[in-house]
């Protein structure tokens, strides 16, 4: 039989189509798509490497020459490697780091979690995946707003059902109770994020409070009936980059009775500009954290031990944390506010653009209402893709349309990320945008 298979595959009449039908991945993998944001960012970077001048404001990353991680953290990472902290860390994270995170949560938000309720991993992504995989069976359903980051992909990866809520600009693209209340009895996980990626907007206390009360009420019904609980995943990776004009709120801080039903996410990726350093953590009910640990232990998604040792020392140094957060917030806020003011000035001049006032993260929500306009070459901008291409080719500015975050609306809203631009770039970008907009008919 083995020889006959070999002779068949070497036969001149063998058809490639046979192999196409034979070499098939799983249904999940065959229908999986990659990150639209990363794809776009690298396409722009490829054009830049070829010599094109484009301001790449697409990816939610930092230029480390503009936004370096804290020097104290850098020194401690080097020290940890010099001290040979390079063996396997515990699956849940080293005790010193989980202890430091516990102190950090108590100090910064008055939330009290023990080390057994904290899980460390290589950034927030494996933790979010673990939340989905731990809480949701294929018959279960997740509810999340759009635009939002990657929830559609995590739902696909885990095979669960999904309900998407299209949010509105008048609500800062955040869900309100009226958007979700009719679905709460049908879902098992409510995925929320604040400050929100991609919009840079934050839940108000009133809005989050109303959602929390509805979840508490739903879980009381389920408890009486002996049904599976409704959980909240609260992605607060941008917590610490919330504007002074928009205070950050957490479900458990507002309602301690949600403690058994809320799993939260944080880490150093954004607030410490350590996107490539890969230290993230989750906290929540001990049983769920324990199951997530077991899952991630099989995947091997722990953060490098040296980085864990260094992060523990950094978080325990309150003065260093406070100093760095003050610096990065000042730098980020300057860029966001200057861009916002610039878009308002363009709007005042009659250009069909707008922006939502920034509240947090490293993002500005901007609108280019240009569909139907003609370029100087006579081409009509008919789609969001046409508008995006126009911005890249004529304004030399690359942004991410909200369609990459699951938004179905035809209104051309975009995410503008400031992590890779200098202060001097802001004015140049606004001038370039104005020149391009002025060329439209």
Q: DSSP states of 354-403 as a string?
A: EEPPP-BTTEEEEEE--TT-B-TTS-B--SHHHHHHHIIIII-EE-EEGG
What pTM does this model have?
Answer: 0.92
pLDDT recorded at residue 259: 97
CB count within 10 Å of CB 209 equals: 16
Q: What are phi and psi for residue 166, nearest 5 degrees?
A: -75, 115
Measured CA to CA, the distance from residue 439 to residue 441 in angstroms comes to 7
Q: Where are the alpha helices (DSSP H) in 192-317?
A: 205-225, 251-254, 286-299, 305-315
pLDDT recorded at residue 13: 54
pLDDT recorded at residue 5: 37
Nearest to 195 by CA among 73, 292, 332, 341: 332
Query: What are 383's two structure tokens?
Result: 């789609």
DSSP-derived secondary structure letter, 171: G
Check residue 380 and give left, alpha or beta (phi > 0: left; psi -120 to 50: alpha).
Answer: beta
Strands 262-267, 231-235: parallel, antiparallel or unpaired by DSSP? parallel
Nearest to 284 by CA among 361, 343, 229: 229
- Signed CA dihedral, 239, 243, 249, 253: sign only: positive
Count of CA atoms in the C-beta half-sphere (13 A) of 24: 8
One digit per residue, the tens of pLDDT, for the chain of length 441 reads 333 433 444 555 555 665 667 788 888 888 888 777 777 877 888 888 888 899 999 999 999 999 999 999 999 999 999 999 999 999 999 999 999 999 999 999 989 999 999 999 999 999 999 999 999 999 999 999 999 999 999 999 999 999 999 999 999 999 999 999 999 999 999 999 999 999 999 999 999 999 999 999 999 999 999 999 999 999 999 999 977 778 899 999 999 999 999 999 999 999 999 999 999 999 999 999 999 999 999 999 999 999 999 999 999 999 999 999 999 999 999 999 999 999 999 999 999 999 999 999 999 999 999 999 999 999 999 999 999 999 999 999 999 999 999 998 777 999 999 999 999 999 999 999 999 999 999
Measured CA to CA, the distance from residue 399 to residue 387 in angstroms comes to 10
Radius of gyration, alpha carbons of the chain: 24
pLDDT recorded at residue 24: 81
Long-range CB contacts for residues 125-129, cutoff 8 Å, separation at least 24 = 125/150, 125/280, 126/280, 126/296, 126/299, 126/301, 127/265, 127/280, 127/281, 127/282, 127/292, 127/296, 128/154, 128/233, 128/235, 128/265, 129/154, 129/157, 129/158
Strands 400-401, 413-417: parallel, antiparallel or unpaired by DSSP? antiparallel
C-beta separation of 163 from 142 below 8 A: yes
In angstroms, how far is CA 365 from the centroid of its own chain? 15
pLDDT recorded at residue 39: 78
Measured CA to CA, the distance from residue 55 to residue 64 in angstroms comes to 16
Paired residues of 265 in beta bridges: 235, 282
Query: Structural domains in the chain?
Result: 30-66+323-438 (3.90.1150.10), 71-317 (3.40.640.10)
């Amino acid at each position: 039989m083995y020889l006959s298979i070999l002779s068949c595959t070497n036969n001149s009449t063998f058809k490639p189509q046979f192999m196409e039908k034979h070499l098939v991945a799983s249904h999940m993998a065959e229908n999986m798509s990659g990150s639209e944001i990363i794809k776009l960012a690298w396409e722009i970077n490829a054009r830049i490497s070829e010599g094109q001048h484009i301001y790449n404001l697409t990816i939610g990353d930092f230029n480390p020459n503009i936004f370096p991680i804290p020097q104290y953290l850098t020194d401690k990472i080097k020290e940890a490697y010099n001290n040979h902290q390079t063996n396997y860390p515990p699956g849940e994270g080293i005790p010193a780091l989980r202890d430091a995170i516990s102190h950090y949560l108590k100090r910064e938000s008055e939330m009290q979690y023990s080390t057994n309720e904290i899980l460390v991993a290589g950034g927030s992504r494996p933790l979010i995946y673990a939340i989905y995989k731990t809480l949701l069976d294929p018959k279960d359903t997740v509810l999340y707003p759009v635009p939002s980051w990657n929830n559609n992909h995590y739902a696909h990866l885990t095979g669960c059902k999904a309900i998407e809520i299209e949010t509105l600009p008048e609500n800062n693209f955040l869900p309100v109770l009226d958007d979700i209340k009719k679905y709460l009895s049908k879902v098992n996980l409510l995925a929320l994020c604040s400050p929100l990626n991609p919009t840079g907007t934050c839940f108000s206390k009133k809005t989050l409070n109303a959602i929390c009360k509805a979840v508490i009420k739903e879980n009381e019904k389920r408890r009486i009936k002996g049904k599976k609980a409704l959980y909240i995943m609260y992605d607060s990776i941008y917590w610490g980059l919330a504007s002074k004009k928009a205070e950050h709120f957490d479900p458990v801080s507002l309602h301690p009775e949600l403690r058994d039903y809320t799993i939260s996410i944080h880490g150093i990726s954004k607030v410490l500009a350590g996107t490539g350093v890969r230290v993230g953590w989750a906290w929540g009910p001990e049983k769920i954290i324990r199951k997530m640990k077991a899952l991630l232990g099989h995947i091997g998604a722990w953060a490098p031990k040296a980085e864990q040792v260094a992060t523990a020392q950094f978080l325990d140094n309150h003065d260093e944390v406070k100093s760095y957060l003050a610096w990065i917030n000042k730098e980020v806020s300057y860029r966001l506010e200057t861009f916002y003011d610039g878009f308002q000035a363009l709007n005042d001049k009659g250009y069909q653009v707008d922006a939502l006032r920034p509240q947090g993260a490293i993002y500005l929500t901007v609108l280019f209402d240009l569909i139907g306009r003609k370029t100087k070459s006579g081409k009509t901008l008919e789609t969001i893709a046409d508008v995006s291409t126009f911005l890249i080719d004529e304004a030399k500015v690359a942004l991410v349309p909200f369609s990459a975050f699951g938004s179905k609306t035809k209104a051309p809203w975009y995410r503008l990320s400031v992590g890779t631009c200098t202060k001097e770039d802001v004015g140049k970008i606004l001038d370039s945008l104005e020149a391009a907009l002025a060329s439209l008919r």
